[in-house]
Amino acid sequence: MNERLRSAVRGVEPPPYLEARVRNQLRCAPRASFFATSRFAGAMAVVAICVGLGVAYQLGHLRLTEASQDSYIASISNQVATIMRVGLSDHVKCAIFRKYPKDAPTVEQLNATITPELRGLIPILQQHTPGGYQMMMAHRCKVAGRLFVHLTLRKDSSMLSLVIAQKRDGESFQTEGLIPALQQAGISVYQSGVQHYQISAFETGKQLVYVISDLGRHANTEVLVALAPAVRDYLSQL
């Protein structure tokens, strides 16, 4: 919880005008006495503590009630395209709002939680993700009435998910008017993000495939690009 709190605080972005406003006020203000400067520093420390407590309360409260979890997911999902919400909602609901064991499960334990035809995704994901990540979960799940294949890895407080959803009628990145960020091995890669969540995605004829993490935008896309050909070929055989 402490590590996730730190990650959440780091993910809170200040308004873009805040730094300019503070610098301008400092330039225009007369030279303050040591006492006044100390009071200002103290006030800023109190503000920082209040922000930290607010984030801590929010995370704790979100974990306590399903309604608050759904409200949080809705608030961040509304900031990305509809088709990107599909993977984001499953990542947050199923991977972020989950209590994991201290030790990563064994391969045998992971294989027991996912259907035999999907077990081949586990070594693909392990092979193409950055060093230090451990597989924590591999299963089918259901969020907002939709079925997913969901595999999650963890490195310290960082979480990374491979999320696969069956397409619904007419569902496509192209029909939503999204422009690919890049083309790799004949695969169109799409990007989005909100708060500290980065979303990279591609589609097959039948599936929507997402990599979602708190890595930087470029690093998250690199993971998807590395995974995409092998995942595409594997899904085509199902």
CATH number at residue 111: 3.30.200.100
Asked whether 115 and 138 are in contact (CB, 8 A), the reply is: no
Q: Is the residue at 73 inside a domain?
A: no
Residue 104 burial (CB count, 10 A): 16
**What domain count does the chain have?**
2
Could you read off the pLDDT of 182-211 as tens digits, one per residue? 998 899 999 999 999 999 999 999 999 999
Looking at the structure, tell me whether residues 39 and 123 fall in a common domain: no
- As a whole number of angstroms, the distance between CA 207 and CA 110 comes to 22
- As a whole number of angstroms, the distance between CA 50 and CA 35 comes to 23
Looking at the structure, tell me whether residues 58 and 122 fall in a common domain: no
Q: Does residue 118 surpass a pLDDT of 90?
A: yes
**pLDDT at residue 43, as a whole number:** 58
Q: Whose structure tokens read 């050909």?
A: 229
Of the listed ranges 61-70, 80-89, 190-199, the one predicted with least confidence: 61-70
Looking at the structure, tell me whether residues 99 and 206 fall in a common domain: yes
Confidence class for position 116, pLDDT limits 50, 70, 90: very high
Looking at the structure, tell me whether residues 53 and 111 fall in a common domain: no
Looking at the structure, tell me whether residues 110 and 148 fall in a common domain: yes
Q: Is the residue at 74 inside a domain?
A: no
Looking at the structure, tell me whether residues 156 and 226 fall in a common domain: yes
pTM tops 0.85: no
Q: Does residue 212 surpass a pLDDT of 70?
A: yes
Looking at the structure, tell me whether residues 105 and 203 fall in a common domain: yes
From 35, 64, 93, the end of a domain falls on 64
Looking at the structure, tell me whether residues 178 and 96 fall in a common domain: yes
**pLDDT at residue 232, as a whole number:** 96
DSSP state of 98: -
Looking at the structure, tell me whether residues 120 and 14 fall in a common domain: no
Looking at the structure, tell me whether residues 87 and 59 fall in a common domain: no
**pLDDT at residue 78, as a whole number:** 93
Looking at the structure, tell me whether residues 125 and 221 fall in a common domain: yes
Q: Is the residue at 224 inside a domain?
A: yes
State which residues form the domain around 141. 81-236
Comparison of pLDDT for 1 and 177, the residue scoring more:
177
Looking at the structure, tell me whether residues 89 and 176 fall in a common domain: yes
- As a whole number of angstroms, the distance between CA 105 and CA 112 comes to 11
Q: Is the residue at 72 inside a domain?
A: no
Closest CA to 182 of 155, 200, 167: 200
Q: Is the residue at 75 inside a domain?
A: no
- As a whole number of angstroms, the distance between CA 182 and CA 204 comes to 16
Q: Is the residue at 53 inside a domain?
A: yes
Q: Is the residue at 37 inside a domain?
A: yes
The backbone torsions φ and ψ at residue 6, rounded to the nearest 5 degrees and listed phi first, read -60, -40
